[in-house]
Amino acid sequence: MAEFLMYLTNGLVMGVINAISAIGVSLVVGIMRVINFAHGELYIFAGYFSYHLSLTLGLSPILAMPLSVIFVFLMGVLMERFLIRPTYGDEMYSLIITFVLSIILQNSALLIFGPYPNKPPTLISGATSFFGLFHYGNQRLFSFIISIAILLSVFYLIKRTWFGKSVRAISQDREMASLMGIDHLKVNMLSFGLGAALAGAAGVIIAPIFPVTPTGSSAISLTAFVVVVLGGMGSLKGCVVGGLILGILENLGAAYISTMYRHIFGFIILILVLVFRPWGLFGQRT
Amino acid sequence: MRRVVFLVVLVVSFIIGSLAFAQETIKIGVVGPRTGPAAATGKAFEEGIAIALDHINAKGGVLGKKLEVVFEDTGGVPEKAASAFEKLATRDRVPIVVGESHSSSALAEIEVANRYKVPFIICEAWHDDITKKNYRWVFRAGPVNSGVVDFYIAPFVKEHGFKKVAIVRENSDWGVGIAERTEFNMKNFGLPFVTLKVERESKDFYTELTKLKGENPDIILAYIYGTGLHFFVAQAHEVGVSPKALILDGAGPPSLWDSFWKNVGKAGELELFMSSMHEKVHLTPTSRKFWEDYKKKFGKDPSDYKTRSIYNVVLIAADAINRARSTTNEALVEALEKTNLEVTTGIVKFGLKLGSYEYHQWMPPMLVVQWQDQKQVVVFPKEAATGGLKRGR
């Protein structure tokens, strides 16, 4: 029983971590119809920024974390302005550009930060005992809570604010929204920046648990795409549910079937969804 | 017209210049991961090559020419490794190739070496089959799974009276091979053991560790390479598996990377790892020279022992070329088979008896080292020990 509860708890925490890693991709796909292959690299850069700001420059981690997110937000804004904007209207071009960018960023990270895994300082060390049944790492619990707070803020931003309303209007009908006076270029730029900032937020929150390496970005992007396709392209709710399903399934599968095929369980569900519900769990059928 | 003449002169002088330059050097090939999850090994290789080249060229190079290296990246991927080797053999036409640190990549490369008949000296890919295939062109001056387990890991486990062994292995050629050999030894000792297979790219080991906790082992033999090892060590401490159960990193280098202590924190205390290098253990004068040259060039002590492994094989290759007085493949293999050279880890002599992994194999002595108060203490074998093994509670 204790073991089952541990697997479930870990599945839940990993699920939320999956969701926060993927929500930026989902947002950008939903609003701009652009699939950002360089998502994982933005995550990794944020992790390294946070590491160097706090350990090399000696800033407090509380300050280093938001600063890193701001840097990555600016990277996103610049990417949109100079690389993505010229490709609007042709999804294939933006796909290729972000793919090439991911390779360039990955190699730059290798050059700038070196090949070794690095970890920003943990804010809380040690582990908490759950009713004497099992121990769970404090940093993981902390990251879990922050992630939930960020996910809730994103929902609020998109569903309740004026910015969210204009974003949704643009994703539904770009021309009509522009006619109503929404500056779609500005909204796109901010949305892409927000997507990047969310990749960055995931990076700074998760890097103290799983240290970042330049080449770790591919795995992060891959998980994000699995979660987004599972939940439905562009659906924020789907992203959270998809992340949770993946987290819980991988942990229970590893525990009761085989640890060797941990990542296969997610892919099996993905294939089933693609066969029977290609638009994802919460996506819109087109 | 004058411009054309100028251009022609420029091109001709460039060609003559490069020809003259080409005659002054001999290039050998190196294969290893400069990108991918084990890119740190590429860095270690670069450092080792730099010191080896300085050392060899200061003594007049090879056959009176300057020795140079063409380092091809394998990314740690077998297909990429095979094509990297092919490039060295066909495009650069190097007389000999050295290096490699992934068994799966090496297993792909030896097929290419065999096809193009290019001598290949491997330094850090441990799978038995690499030399067990008995290819005439393939040599290994480095650890081999069976040797590491039979002479070091298994005797260490037995000598210290561990009662329950957990084997955690990644799904790579190295991981599978070394775990199977360990199981074989544990069965012979009659020691109870449990094996857990994990994915090579795993980050989260909570589920695996919870399963292990139920088995209550007192030693965990972790056959996981790279960043994964840091994750494993840190998480084992969080869920309360270690230090009650000691962890032995079956490869070694990840426990020595600069980032190890930052990534694992307190969990690194009492961790054990395999190594062929320790600042207080110098088996030969070359070892001491390597240590001093490294410090002079990089301003710090060497940590990743793969720096020294690649240094050794570059020395072995240069020695073979010099003794062969030629760069033809047949002459080089003949010279390599007669190698009797002092390197940092001992005197290299390759096995010549066909039929087992010992053919064209030379293994350096290894050490089991434990982190005690962030200091490296050699705990096995006895004759090299600098302290006693500490158990956790």
Tokens 């494993």 belong to residue = B232
Residue A267 confidence (pLDDT) above 90: no
Are residues B204 and A259, on separate chains, in Cβ contact within 8 Å? no
The pLDDT value recorded for residue B298 is 95
> Does A122 contact chain B (CB < 8 Å)?
yes
Are residues B227 and A55, on separate chains, in Cβ contact within 8 Å? no
Are residues A127 and B238, on separate chains, in Cβ contact within 8 Å? yes
Mean pLDDT for B266-293 is 91
Residue B168 confidence (pLDDT) above 50: yes
Contacts of A116 in chain B (CB under 8 A): 40, 257-259
Rg of the Cα atoms in chain B: 22
- Chain A: closest CA distance from residue B321 (Å): 33
> Does A125 contact chain B (CB < 8 Å)?
yes
Distances (CA, A) of A137 to A19, A21, A125, B260, B271: 19, 20, 8, 19, 19
User: Residue A27 has which token pair?
Assistant: 């947002």
Are residues A259 and B196, on separate chains, in Cβ contact within 8 Å? yes
Closest chain B residue to the Cα of A121, Cα to Cα: B262
Q: Label each residue of chain B as H, E or C.
A: CHHHHHHHHHHHHHHHHHHHHHHCEEEEEEEECCCCCCHHHHHHHHHHHHHHHHHHHHCCCECCEEEEEEEEECCCCHHHHHHHHHHHHHCCCCCCEEECCCHHHHHHHHHHHHHHCCCEEECCCCCCHHHHCCCCCEEEECCCHHHHHHHHHHHHHHHCCCCCEEEEEECCHHHHHHHHHHHHHHHHHCCCEEEEEECCCCCCCHHHHHHHHHHCCCEEEEECCCHHHHHHHHHHHHCCCCCCCEEEECCCHHHCCCCHHHHHHHHHCCCEEEECCECCECCCHHHHHHHHHHHHHHCCCCCCCHHHHHHHHHHHHHHHHHHHCCCCHHHHHHHHHCCCEEECCEEECCCCCCCCCCCCEECCCCEEEEEECCEEEEEECHHHCCCCCCCCC
Nearest to A125 among B211, B227, B265 (CB): B265
User: Residue B256 has which token pair?
Assistant: 């020595």
Q: Which of A214-223, B11-20, B82-91 is least confident? A: B11-20
Q: Which of A86-95, B312-321, B342-351, B352-361 is least confident? A: A86-95
A235 DSSP assignment: -
With contact defined as beta carbons under 8 Å apart, do A84 and A192 qualify? yes
The pLDDT value recorded for residue B27 is 96
Provide the mean pLDDT of chain B. 91
Are residues B43 and A115, on separate chains, in Cβ contact within 8 Å? yes
- Chain A: closest CA distance from residue B182 (Å): 19
Nearest to B204 among A14, A107, A211 (CB): A14
Categorize the per-residue pLDDT at A24 as very low, low, confident or very high, splitting at 50, 70 and 90.
very high
Residue B20 confidence (pLDDT) above 50: no
The pLDDT value recorded for residue B4 is 55
Nearest to B227 among A14, A211, A255 (CB): A211
The whole-angstrom separation of Cα B377 and Cα A251 is 37
With contact defined as beta carbons under 8 Å apart, do A50 and A123 qualify? no
ipTM of the complex: 0.85
Categorize the per-residue pLDDT at B11 as very low, low, confident or very high, splitting at 50, 70 and 90.
low
Residue B18 confidence (pLDDT) above 70: no
- Above pLDDT 70, what percent of chain B? 94
Residue B17 confidence (pLDDT) above 90: no
Quote the pTM value: 0.86
Nearest to B185 by CA among B141, B221, B213: B221
The whole-angstrom separation of Cα A194 and Cα B381 is 56
Contacts of A260 in chain B (CB under 8 A): 171, 197-199
The pLDDT value recorded for residue B21 is 46
What strands lie across the sheet with B246-249, from one edge to the other? B193-198, B165-170, B219-223, B246-249, B272-275, B367-372, B375-380
Contacts of B210 in chain A (CB under 8 A): 3, 6-7, 10, 134, 255
Categorize the per-residue pLDDT at A31 as very low, low, confident or very high, splitting at 50, 70 and 90.
confident
Contacts of B240 in chain A (CB under 8 A): 127, 135
Are residues A215 and B263, on separate chains, in Cβ contact within 8 Å? no
Query: Strand, helix or coil at A212?
Result: strand
Element (H, E) at A93: helix A91-113
> Does A119 contact chain B (CB < 8 Å)?
yes
The pLDDT value recorded for residue B19 is 44
User: Residue B209 has which token pair?
Assistant: 């560790």
The pLDDT value recorded for residue B23 is 53
Residue A207 confidence (pLDDT) above 90: yes
With contact defined as beta carbons under 8 Å apart, do B104 and B78 qualify? yes
Closest chain A residue to the Cα of B209, Cα to Cα: A255
Are residues A10 and B204, on separate chains, in Cβ contact within 8 Å? yes
Q: Choose, out of B172, B194, B227, the residue to mutate when testing the contact with A (most A CBs < 10 Å).
A: B227
Residue of higher predicted confidence among B21 and A82: A82
Mean pLDDT for A140-148 is 94
With contact defined as beta carbons under 8 Å apart, do A226 and A280 qualify? no
User: Residue A46 has which token pair?
Assistant: 């944020």
Residue B156 confidence (pLDDT) above 90: yes
The pLDDT value recorded for residue A126 is 85
The whole-angstrom separation of Cα A157 and Cα B185 is 60
Categorize the per-residue pLDDT at B138 as very low, low, confident or very high, splitting at 50, 70 and 90.
very high
The pLDDT value recorded for residue A73 is 97
Q: Choose, out of A13, A48, A130, A260, the residue to mutate when testing the contact with B (most B CBs < 10 Å).
A: A260
Categorize the per-residue pLDDT at B183 as very low, low, confident or very high, splitting at 50, 70 and 90.
very high
The pLDDT value recorded for residue B308 is 93
Contacts of A255 in chain B (CB under 8 A): 207, 210-211
Provide the mean pLDDT of chain A. 91
Mean pLDDT for B153-174 is 94
Contacts of B207 in chain A (CB under 8 A): 6-7, 10, 251, 254-255, 259, 262
> Does A267 contact chain B (CB < 8 Å)?
no
Number of Cα atoms under 13 Å in the Cβ half of residue A185: 6
The pLDDT value recorded for residue A286 is 65
The whole-angstrom separation of Cα B278 and Cα B301 is 10
The pLDDT value recorded for residue B8 is 56
Categorize the per-residue pLDDT at B22 as very low, low, confident or very high, splitting at 50, 70 and 90.
very low
Q: Environment class of residue A66 by beta-carbon count within 10 Å: exposed (0-12), middle (13-18) or buried (19+)?
A: middle
The pLDDT value recorded for residue B143 is 94
Residue A44 confidence (pLDDT) above 90: yes
* Cβ neighbours for B36, distance < 8 A, ≥ 6 positions apart: A215, B74, B75, B76, B77
Are residues B199 and A258, on separate chains, in Cβ contact within 8 Å? no
CB pairs under 8 A between A and B: 103
- Chain B: closest CA distance from residue A261 (Å): 7
Are residues A3 and B210, on separate chains, in Cβ contact within 8 Å? yes
Residue B146 confidence (pLDDT) above 80: yes
Interface of A with B in 188-217 (CB under 8 A): 210-211, 213-216
Dihedral of the CA atoms A7, A12, A14, A16 (nearest 10)?
Answer: 180
User: Is the N-terminal amide bond of B381 cis, ω within 30° of 0?
Assistant: yes
Are residues A211 and B239, on separate chains, in Cβ contact within 8 Å? no
Tokens 């906790």 belong to residue = B213
Q: Which of A110-124, A194-208, B87-101 is least confident? A: A110-124
The whole-angstrom separation of Cα A237 and Cα A215 is 29
The whole-angstrom separation of Cα B274 and Cα B149 is 11
Are residues A137 and B239, on separate chains, in Cβ contact within 8 Å? yes
The pLDDT value recorded for residue B9 is 54
What spatial distance separates the first Cα and last Cα of chain A, rounded to whole Å? 44
Are residues B208 and A259, on separate chains, in Cβ contact within 8 Å? yes
Categorize the per-residue pLDDT at A215 as very low, low, confident or very high, splitting at 50, 70 and 90.
confident
Q: Choose, out of B46, B210, B223, B256, the residue to mutate when testing the contact with A (most A CBs < 10 Å).
A: B210
Other Cβ atoms less than 10 A from the Cβ of A129: the count is 10
Partners of B246 in beta bridges: B219
Nearest to B206 among A10, A126, A258 (CB): A10
Residue B173 confidence (pLDDT) above 60: yes
Contacts of B179 in chain A (CB under 8 A): none
